[in-house]
Structure 1
Amino acid sequence: MSTDEPKDLGNIHDITPKPRKLPDGANIRFLAPTVNAITNVTALVGRDLEPLRCHIYIRDGLIAGIVPDNADTTPLAAAPPPARDLLERDKPITIDGKHMIAVPGMADVHDHLQVLGPGLPVAEGLPLDEFLRVQWATQARMGPPEYELAVLLGTLQRLKCGVTTVVDHAYTFHEPDLDEACVHAYDLSGIRWAYARGIMTRPYAPVCETFEQAADNIRALLANTTATPERLFVAPVSIRQATLQEYERSAALAEELGAGTYTHASETQAERETWLQEAQTTPIKALDRAGFLNERTVLAHCVVLDDDEIELLAARGTHVVHCPSNNMKLAKGVTRVPDLLAAGVNVALGVDMMADIFSEMRAELHMQSLHSGDPAVLSSRDVLQMATWRGAAAVFPDAAAPADTLTAATAGYRVPIGELSTGCAADIVLIPARSLLQAPLLDPLHAVVHQTHGPMVRHVLVDGQLVVADGVSTLVDEKELLVEAERACNYWLDQLDLPAGPQGVWFPPPPPDFPDAPPDGWP
């Protein structure tokens, strides 16, 4: 296929997905049922994730108490009996956690949620650079409605599989209002989010912008949306999509705005060679000289590192996010995660357009064991910590997120996330513990890492609000979203000049009268 110019698609907005609206002045999460207690549950508590049979009490979106079920006094009178209908929205509810495991809400610290169609399946077998050109070609004519649809689909897929915090490394920005579309979709889903606003000034002209355009749009984003400096990263895509000078300017912009910095770094040997050619030094040293590295910096991948670079990352307090499945899929290599952790570098996990966070935990363990020849080089606890409090610490300093609750009690405060402890945000994932897929369950932590799959997640709370109940979003019409996504994907597959690959969605969308007739012009 040609990657110079996208094929003329006509007026793509003739098939614009239906608009969705947020209630005026409200975070949609607070339209979900409020949970004030989870009783009789086995919880993985604290940063050590120790299993405890207990009752969890929630107030104003925070964990107000964790009481062992064998305590002399258990304040069950503080909570009503377990709700028969989890979708009661007019009063707080209690969830009976019997035969369930409660784990902290997990963090996906590197993803690209704008890739609605068709993404990795169409680029099957292509190396990274060729895959990216396919991705850019499919995005080149996407507008704000398509971005909103893609991001809403992606965030719900993450939420339903136990991710409560996501960092979306968003790009490309080839039309106005794409930033606003992304932020709107995060807010619609109910997920806790941070925005790594990508900057791409080269090499694929149809989807590039100038640095000045990017900077203006980032400032407008803070002025016109729910984005705040605390959950914003200035995020040049990589050295092959931005120049060394633009990394320096990005660091200055982040300092001006009070935001973090974020980029792909040391992803492949080819990328490392680009740094050596353009900066005359290795990637991490070049980023440090550009003033890009600090305790609010997240670097994705970091596959090719030398010992000096690992020491420098530790000295700067910079975070690394590893995406093991994506790294294997695109043959990038193996990140030195055990060495990074041993040096004191915080390492998180990213799903990066792959399956789910449970798959990433297992992939991390298996990759490092095979690569090192040591099955104990990482433990199950290590990878669950990477998916929970370490991920939270990478996104928000000291693992403390801006309080999102509307109640006066916590407004304006920073709330710890990523662990089940008193005073932390009630971001909680409930997983069935009596499944044939997990039997016999001897160790709850081991079962979560090795025997649990994303679709097994039963309930998900963010800030104490039940955003997923019995595996289904309480805030978004999933059937309607599925129909829109499938029709949009079929449209791109039919219209774009793509390599040989899938010719359409295998299970066609239902007829147009389900659930509503689509807008005029839809296929």
Structure 2
Amino acid sequence: MLYTHATVVTVNTKREIILDGSILVQGSRITDIGKSNTLLSKHKEEDMYDLSGHIVCPGLISTHMHTAQTLLRGAADDLELVSWLCERIWVLQGNFTTEDGYAAARVSIAEMLKSGTTCFLESMFADRYGFSGLCHAVTESGIRGCLGKIVMDTGKYAGDGAWAMHPGLIEDRETSLLGALRMHEEWDGKADGRIRVWFGARTPGGVSTALYKEMTSLSKEKNIPITMHCAEVKADREFFAALDPPHTPMSYCESVGLLGPQTVLVHMVHLDDSDIKALAETGTHVAHCPTSNAKLASGVARVPDLLAAGVNVGLGTDGAPCNNTNDLLQEMKLAGIVHKAISYDSTLVPAETVLEMATINGAKALGLDSEIGSLEVGKKADFIAVDMRKVHLQPYYSPISALVYSVTGGDVSMTVVDGKILVEHGKLITMDEEEVWKQAEIHGHDVVKRAGLAEKVKARWPLV
């Protein structure tokens, strides 16, 4: 297919934007890209798809999200993290069935595809949710997924007994670490290579030092990447400082072998200068989730300092209970604004940097930058088209500004992954959208009832 007459934001090494550009896709890859008049004359025999009035850019890459949690959208609003976790999220997730996990994965993926995310990193899918169901959802939908299977052996958060997990979520080494190895053997590389299986380690305090060391050794031996929440809230920092010997977040991670280019650490709000230096020196990646950090009052990550030090920073939405959407385009806007607000410096984290975080930086974090993250000949045909012929998007002068500050997921007209059209004219092609959201509604309410929280998650104003 020859996609023609679009404004093509390539994010290539020169960061070229092609006005009236075209992309030739053959099989799963881009085989030509350039001006429409040139490609139309070279490839007259190809089927053509007119994208006049659209901006085309690389498919967005979410480096942190929780597919299971989309069933819990709006079920834990306006709570600080301890109450959010212990009284709502862990209780709800501890009552999941494998059928709930599959319904959650499908509605998460449907939303991501419709809003322009073509590849995502699932943070830590629990055994009780049914990891194979998640893999089936990725396979059926056509999305690209790096899927973290949870690794844990301690049912607490940050070592505090008061922050105890729901018993339905607690896993041991056999179920978590060895289960992840089994899932890696069964699923890694499946779905035409679109599935990658990762270790999804719990936060320090939820994993023993011995299990961390075993996991990081296996990671190197078997080439299995790792993702992990870290330094999200002040309690994390206090946990590290209380260890014997005392640690900073990154000195502890380094001591158990977590730092390196195969690791994506998430949130990373409470860091000192030595932590940032360690991240840069080891090539460890960071996933920035500004909406989650703001909504849970965790703080604001030092992204300008991380970028200045040379740390690769990607972008993620986190889960729906602490964001309420899986729309990475909306996340881009906040990522471009929040650092200006707290620094009083409007030049920090400009729109171009934000788009890099959501595309090529995300690809680097996932070890996929040779395949995705930019629109270049030889790379996978993962891209989205945004219809700019709308009153809320006109006029615009910079395509990058429009994508970061004006566009939302609802403006995505087309999503292509591996050369296949998965969303066309804003409609899902590979999934029955109505069936997906109806199943999500059914399973979400069933989980809430099963957990005994129906009265707590309803509207606070009178329902009459």
Using the size of structure 2 for normalisation, the TM-score is 0.90
Closer, same or farther: CA 226–292 of 1 in aligned 2, 3 Å: closer
Q: Secondary structure at the match of 1:211?
A: coil
Shift of 1:248: 1.4
Shift of 1:48: 5.0
Q: Does 1:486 align with 2:457?
A: no
Q: Which among 180, 185, 208 is matched to residue 223 of structure 1?
A: 185
Q: Which has the larger radius of gyration?
A: 1
Shift of 1:186: 1.5
Closer, same or farther: CA 324–72 of 1 in aligned 2, 3 Å: closer
Is 357-366 or 223-232 further displaced after alignment?
223-232
Counterpart CA distance in 1 for 2:208 and 2:137 is 30
Amino acid at match of 2:4: T
Aligned to 1:214: 176
More helix by share: 2
Amino acid at match of 1:63: I
Q: Structure 2, unaligned stretches of length 5 or more?
A: 157-164
Counterpart CA distance in 1 for 2:410 and 2:318 is 18
Does structure 2 retain, via aligned residues, the 8 Å contact 1:174–1:209?
A: no
Alignment of 1:69-84 (within 5 A): 69-71=36-38, 74-80=41-47
Amino acid at match of 2:179: N
Shift of 1:302: 0.6
Counterpart CA distance in 2 for 1:268 and 1:224 is 35
Q: Does 1:265 align with 2:230?
A: yes
Q: Does 1:184 align with 2:136?
A: yes
Amino acid at match of 1:262: T
Shift of 1:503: 6.5
Q: Which among 17, 21, 32 is matched to residue 54 of structure 1?
A: 21
Aligned to 2:310: 344
Aligned to 1:144: 98
Aligned length: 439
Counterpart CA distance in 2 for 1:357 and 1:49 is 21
Q: Does 1:363 align with 2:329?
A: no
Aligned to 2:35: 68
Q: CA RMSD in A?
A: 2.2
Q: Does 1:234 align with 2:188?
A: no
Using the size of structure 1 for normalisation, the TM-score is 0.80
Shift of 1:372: 1.1
Closer, same or farther: CA 61–72 of 1 in aligned 2, 3 Å: closer
Amino acid at match of 2:151: I
Counterpart CA distance in 1 for 2:440 and 2:264 is 31
Aligned to 2:54: 100
Closer, same or farther: CA 256–335 of 1 in aligned 2, 3 Å: same
Counterpart CA distance in 1 for 2:208 and 2:355 is 36
Does structure 2 retain, via aligned residues, the 8 Å contact 1:458–1:469?
A: yes
Q: Which among 141, 148, 160 is matched to residue 196 of structure 1?
A: 148
Q: Does 1:444 align with 2:418?
A: no
Shift of 1:71: 4.0
Counterpart CA distance in 2 for 1:169 and 1:239 is 14
Aligned to 1:329: 295
Amino acid at match of 2:46: A
Q: Deviations over 1:79-109 (max 9, x none)?
A: 23xxxxxxxxxxxxx3101111101001001
Q: Structure 1 vs Structure 2: percent identity of aligned residues?
A: 28
Aligned to 1:455: 410
Closer, same or farther: CA 246–285 of 1 in aligned 2, 3 Å: same
Runs of 4+ in 1 over 6 A off after TM superposition: none
Closer, same or farther: CA 426–489 of 1 in aligned 2, 3 Å: same
Q: Deviations over 1:232-267 (max 9, x none)?
A: 322211013222222212211212321012111111
Alignment of 1:236-255 (within 5 A): 236-255=201-220
Shift of 1:116: 4.4
Counterpart CA distance in 1 for 2:447 and 2:37 is 58
